Amino acid sequence: MSLAYSEIEGKVLRMKWAEQQERTSLNETNDGVVSIPVFKRVVLIADFGEKIAELRLNPPENRHAYTDNSGRPTGEAYYNAYIQKAKDMIGSPIVPLDLRHVIKSLVEEQEPRVARIHIDNHTDQQNYRSKTTGPNADVRDSPDWSLIYQASGNKWSWDGQSFYWLPKASSGFLTREVFTHIDADEGFVKVNADCSDEEVGYVISQIRAR
Amino acid sequence: MSSRKLELAKKRNPGLAELFDRTSAYIRAQIIHNRQNFIIPKLAAAALDMNDGEAFILLDLLAQEDLLRRVYNVYCRKNGILLATVDALEALDTIPHCDFCDKDHDPSDLKVEIAFVLKDDELLTMAA
């Protein structure tokens, strides 16, 4: 990881790292290995006034410098390296946001909905994990899902949910639906690579508000 | 009949007495009615309307009071299959073959979840 810049503006620390990784795949026509260099950017934004920090990372490729105990490059090792770097820079312990609570409050919201739920992934009290994927609608509009949710949804543990934030409920911030996957089990939020800074800012503000 | 160990725990932590009662009622319901062997913090949190960290601390305190025992459920990360339950993380090197994937997983392909089991039947025999 190479530091690209570091700046402090008021109580906000902003740091950016960059690095090159490799995306390797098999060339099926000649059995050779194709390797493409891919640049990765990582940004840390720490607001010491609000006591909130964000770490924004590109997803890893399959060849990089972060390895597990067996020497294999893993996504977990890549993420952990930057989380540790962020902790070192901030100089204090970090407590992750409670993302299950965020999902729960988003699911509970009635009209006007701020987001369309594309994929629901929860665990019930008998420890059965269920995943529901909507075609192009909201899983809450599925009569079957709704019936089960009414009966026992208040005791579900929310593991991962995919949302599309809706422009009509965004007070003009969004001009298109913005995809977000919240993985409460692993503790991260994923947005698409083509999102603008404003769209990412909107998603994060909506998550923090809950 | 009340659990002696639970009453001692409540006496030692009077501010948590009500939470201990709710948590122990939840544990009994999970084991007796839902037939669950494991008490999982995230499920306890959902049922007791608290966050994962709070539920974990409560369960861990009950473990410290000798009512529960902390274990680690080891899952295949890809398919979510429970492969083993171990008492210590050192045992991750001895995880059995994953029948679903038909391979011996590297530790990074495993997902570990903290769970709690009853130390003995004391919580079950007490009146609800």
Residue-level pLDDT at A35? 92
pLDDT at B124: 81
- Looking at per-residue pLDDT, the higher value among B108 and A88 belongs to A88
The confidence score (pLDDT) of residue A122 equals: 93
Each domain of chain B, given as residue ranges in start order, spans 4-119
State whether residue A108 sits within 8 Å of chain B by CB.
Answer: no
Q: Could you tell me which residues are beta bridge partners of residue A7? A: A14
Return the number of other C-beta atoms located less than 10 Å from residue B108's C-beta. 17
What ipTM was estimated for this complex? 0.82
Among A72, A101, A127, the residue with its CB nearest the CB of B40 is: A127
Percent of chain A with pLDDT over 70: 100
Q: With 0-12 CB in 10 A as exposed, 13-18 as middle and 19+ as buried, what is A7?
A: exposed
User: What pLDDT is recorded for position B65?
Assistant: 92
The SS3 call for residue A106 is helix
Q: Confidence band (pLDDT; 50, 70, 90) for A171?
A: confident
A155 at B interface, C-beta within 8 A: yes
Q: Which two tokens stand for residue A102?
A: 């965020």
Instruction: Tell me which residue of A127, A65, A70, A133 sits closest to B110, measured CA to CA.
Output: A70
Query: Please, what is the average pLDDT of chain A?
Result: 90
Task: Write down the pLDDT at residue B111.
Answer: 87
Burial (0-12, 13-18, 19+ Cβ within 10 Å), B103: exposed
pLDDT, tens only, B30-43: 999 888 999 999 99
Contact (CB, 8 A) for A39 and A47: no
- Cβ contacts (< 8 Å) between B38 and chain A: which residues? 127
Residues of chain B in contact with residue A79, where contact means CB-CB under 8 angstroms, are none
Alpha helices in chain A (DSSP H): 75-90, 99-108, 143-152, 197-208
> Quick one: average pLDDT of A157-177?
91
Chain A residues with beta carbon closer than 8 angstroms to that of B107: 68-70
Task: Say what the pLDDT of residue A111 is.
Answer: 79
Q: Model confidence over B55-91: pLDDT tens digits?
A: 999 999 999 999 999 999 999 988 888 899 999 878 8
**DSSP for B49-97, written as a single string:** TS-HHHHHHHHHHHHHTTSEEEEEEEEETTT--EEEEESSGGGGGGPPP
Q: Residue B16 pLDDT more than 80?
A: yes
Is residue A46 a contact partner of residue A16, using CB atoms and an 8 Å limit? no
Q: Judge whether A126 is closer than 8 Å to chain B, CB to CB.
A: yes
Facing residue for B51 by CB, picked from A98, A125, A126 = A98
Structure-block tokens of residue A32: 């050779």
Confidence of residue B97 (pLDDT cuts 50, 70, 90): confident
Q: In the prediction, which pLDDT does B1 show?
A: 55
Report which of residues B113 and A135 the model is more confident about: B113
Res. A104: pLDDT tops 80: yes
Burial class (CB in 10 A: 0-12, 13-18, 19+), A195: middle
Q: Summarize the confidence of residues A193-199 as an average pLDDT.
A: 87
A interface test, pick of B43, B79, B105 with most A CB neighbours within 10 Å: B43
Partner-chain residue, chosen from A72, A98, A125, that has the shortest CB–CB distance to B108:
A72
| Half-sphere exposure (Cβ direction) of A19: Cα atoms closer than 13 Å | 20
Average pLDDT over residues A20-27: 92
Q: What is the pLDDT of residue B126?
A: 60
Amino acid at A66: Y
Average pLDDT of span B6-12: 90
Interface check A76 vs B, CB under 8 A = yes
How large is the average pLDDT for residues A121-143? 89
Q: Is residue B125 predicted with pLDDT exceeding 80?
A: no
Give every CB contact of residue A13 below 8 A, 6+ residues apart in sequence: A6, A7, A44, A45, A46, A48, A89, A90
Does A129 reach chain B within 8 Å, measured CB to CB?
yes
The neighbouring-strand residues paired with A47 are A12, A52
User: Do A167 and A146 touch, CB atoms closer than 8 A?
Assistant: no
CB atoms within 10 A of CB A141: 11
* Chain A CA closest to residue B106: A70
pLDDT tier, B21 (very low <50, low <70, confident <90, very high otherwise): very high
Q: Is A55 helix (H, G, I), strand (E, B) or coil?
A: strand
CA quadruple B22, B28, B29, B35: dihedral sign: positive
- Of A136, A131, A160, the C-alpha closest to A148 is A131
Beta carbons within 8 Å of B52's beta carbon, 6+ residues apart: A98, A100, B41, B42, B45
- Asked if residue B4 has pLDDT above 80, the reply is yes
Task: Give the separation between CA B53 and CA B46, rounded to whole angstroms.
Answer: 12
pLDDT at B128: 45
Q: Residues B110-123: what's their mean pLDDT?
A: 89
Q: Which residues, 6+ apart, have CB-to-CB distance to B102 below 8 Å?
A: none
Banded model confidence at residue A170, pLDDT cuts 50, 70, 90: confident
Residue B33 has a pLDDT of 87
pLDDT at A52 over 50: yes
What is the average pLDDT across A135-160?
91
The three-point CA angle A40-A45-A50 to 5° equals: 160
Mutation target for A interface from B51, B106, B108: give the one with most A CBs within 10 A. B108
